[in-house]
Amino acid sequence: MSLDQVLETIETDLPAAMDRLMQLLRYPSISTDPAYASACTEAAQWLARDLQSLGADAALRPTPGHPMVVGHIPGDGPHVVFYGHYDVQPVDPLDLWDRDPFDPEVQDTPKGRVIRGRGASDDKGQLMTFIEACRAWKAVHGTLPGRISFFFEGEEESGSPSLVPFMKENADELRADVALICDTGMFGDDTPTIVTRLRGLLGEEVVLKAADKDLHSGMYGGPSQNPVRVLARIIAALHDDAGRVTVPGFYDGVPDLPPEIAAQWAALGFDATQFLGDVGLSVPAGEADKTALEQIWSRPTCEVNGITGGYTGAGFKTVLPAEARAKISFRLVGKQDPHAIRDSFRTMVRNMLPDDVQVEFHPHGASPASQMETDHPLFEAARHALSDEWPNPAAYVGCGGSIPIAGYFKDILDTDAMLIGFGKDDDQIHSPNEKYDVESFRKGIRSWARILDQLSKM
């Protein structure tokens, strides 16, 4: 009965919930760019106030970077800690956005109503689904069905430099029976999804320098080193012809996919052609002997996320560049050791440098892959709750992205993490015109309400 009342409250309160999300989306909380530091703090302050309105003792907790937001609502029953991040990705190329990324609006599209704006899906819209479910539950019951802790980070999109120290320093406060994380997507429109595998992430910015200034390519071209050419050789050497990464030792700790998992995934009916077709591609690239889904959920990769050097403006400038830079990242699986791979990568790069070319490395995050234990009874309870809300039963899947927090909960706090999210493949997270379906938001809130209901019975 009381669950029905909560679900009804969610429906009635939906316009107000959307307004609250819009307020949060208006903060340009781009964590990687120091120019937006105050916007990050303001987004954190907004969240703390919102949690306080639920009765939480929420506060900003300083770090060397952007603040954490932590708040607790006391209650009887199991202790769950909910994690999300209030920071967002940069918005460039800005000219590919149809509107100001930080002036969100609800738009009607052929596929339904969407909330358009940076962070709508990743992760502001997702984290608000849980807060709104708690708000509705509390409105009906006056309390929450357990002790709920909220833990929001502001550096997830920039390598989470403060996260591990903060979790270690505040381990007793954050430790819980289970961690809930809402930063993942659904497998298809109708299949709610619990992610049990996440890839790790290792980021390195490589800066090559040769001459002490940009040179005239006619006067110096030939006998002078060109760092762009050296960088291109290094990048080209990072993969072999079969699409495998060549960094020595890279595949140490990469497990074979167990046949039963392979069978489960095959049963999901993933359509690689459609997956690629949605973004203008047609033929799976990468490791020649792996399916697209296997690659994304269970194989490590190496990608160049950005490169720059020399003259990149309009027209032509016959310069011999003094410097070239690339941002290179590795997605990791199984027991791959990010620190060992970083060392091996750096050695490989150094070994490829000719005379007169120097290298600098700027590290950007190093988190191992993680794989969830699904033994805790809340996993099965959540699977039932999700299956009640959506057309298809819930699935346990992998995720190509990197959400190191799940591994940290396990390693630092010995707390199992459940990754449940309502994002869609076409949400364009990290891209221009990011959106979150209004239905993702609405049914996301309802899904969490059903999970709270399961919690109340434990």
- Residue 16 neighbours by CB distance under 10 Å: 11
311 is a site residue for a second copy (CB under 8 A)? yes
Amino acid at 97: W
159 is a site residue for a second copy (CB under 8 A)? yes
x/- track of binding to a second copy for residues 388-427 (CB under 8 A) = -----------xxxx----------------------x--
220 is a site residue for a second copy (CB under 8 A)? yes
Site for a second copy in 20-49 (CB under 8 A): 31-34
Binding segment for a second copy among 49-57, 144-152, 289-297, 378-386 (CB under 8 A)? Answer: 289-297
x/- track of binding to a second copy for residues 424-453 (CB under 8 A) = -x--xxxxx---------------------
H or E stretch including 44?
helix 37-53
Q: Least distance to a second copy from the beta carbon of 211, Å?
A: 4
214 is a site residue for a second copy (CB under 8 A)? yes
Q: How far apart are CA 211 and CA 225, in angstroms?
A: 8
303 is a site residue for a second copy (CB under 8 A)? yes
What are the structure tokens assigned to 60, written together?
């900003």
Strands (E), 99-218: 105-109, 112-116, 147-153, 178-181, 193-198, 200-209, 215-216
Q: Which of 252, 413, 276, 408 is nearest to 334 (CA)?
A: 252
State the distance between the two ends of the chain, measured CA to CA, in whole angstroms.
Answer: 17
Tell me which of 331, 383, 443, 446 binds a second copy, using CB under 8 A.
Answer: 331
Q: Is the dihedral of CA 450, 46, 114, 398 positive or negative?
A: negative
Is the separation of the CB atoms in 114 and 435 below 8 Å? yes
295 is a site residue for a second copy (CB under 8 A)? yes
Tell me which of 84, 203, 334, 338 binds a second copy, using CB under 8 A.
Answer: 203
What are the structure tokens assigned to 220, written together?
């110096």
What are the structure tokens assigned to 258, written together?
């167990």
Q: Least distance to a second copy from the beta carbon of 362, Å?
A: 9
Tell me which of 221, 377, 391, 393 binds a second copy, using CB under 8 A.
Answer: 221
Binding segment for a second copy among 135-143, 214-222, 255-263, 449-457 (CB under 8 A)? Answer: 214-222
Binding segment for a second copy among 61-69, 127-135, 306-314, 375-383 (CB under 8 A)? Answer: 306-314
269 is a site residue for a second copy (CB under 8 A)? no
Q: How far apart are CA 29 and CA 25, in angstroms?
A: 9
Closer residue to a second copy, CB minimum distance, 34 or 142? 34
Tell me which of 2, 38, 109, 318 binds a second copy, using CB under 8 A.
Answer: 318
Q: Which of 338, 456, 425, 394 is nearest to 3 (CA)?
A: 456
Strand partners, 323: 209
Strand partners, 73: 148
Closer residue to a second copy, CB minimum distance, 37 or 59? 37
Tell me which of 268, 272, 340, 353 binds a second copy, using CB under 8 A.
Answer: 272
283 is a site residue for a second copy (CB under 8 A)? yes
Tell me which of 284, 376, 388, 389 binds a second copy, using CB under 8 A.
Answer: 284
* 215-216 and 319-320 strand pairing: antiparallel
Q: How far apart are CA 365 and CA 94, in angstroms?
A: 26
212 is a site residue for a second copy (CB under 8 A)? yes
114 is a site residue for a second copy (CB under 8 A)? no
Tell me which of 26, 85, 325, 383 binds a second copy, using CB under 8 A.
Answer: 325
264 is a site residue for a second copy (CB under 8 A)? no
Tell me which of 163, 206, 228, 413 binds a second copy, using CB under 8 A.
Answer: 228
Q: How far apart are CA 98 and CA 390, in angstroms?
A: 31
Q: How far apart are CA 434 and CA 79, in angstroms?
A: 33
- Residue 37 neighbours by CB distance under 10 Å: 15
232 is a site residue for a second copy (CB under 8 A)? yes
Closer residue to a second copy, CB minimum distance, 1 or 283? 283
Scanning the structure block, which residue is given the tokens 């999109």? Answer: 157
